[in-house]
Amino acid sequence: MRKLIVSMHISLDGFVAGPNGEMNWIRVDDELFTYSARLTDAADTALYGRKTYEMMENYWPTAGEQPDASTHDIQHSGWYNTVKKVVVSNSLKNTQLPNIQIVGNNLAEQIREIKREPGKNIQIFGSPSACHALMKYQLIDEYWLFINPVLLGSGIPLFRNINETEQLALLETAVLASGVLAAHYGRK
- CA–CA separation, 145 vs 143, rounded Å? 6
Class of domain 4-187: alpha beta
Write down the domain spans for the chain. Answer: 4-187
Q: Specify the pTM.
A: 0.91
Helix (H) or strand (E) holding 72: helix 71-82
Neighbours of 116 (CB within 10 A): 9
* Identity at 9, one-letter amino acid code: H
- Determine the 3-state secondary structure of 53 from DSSP: helix
pLDDT in tens, 129-183: 999 999 999 999 999 999 999 999 999 999 987 877 889 999 999 999 999 999 9
Neighbours of 51 (CB within 10 A): 15
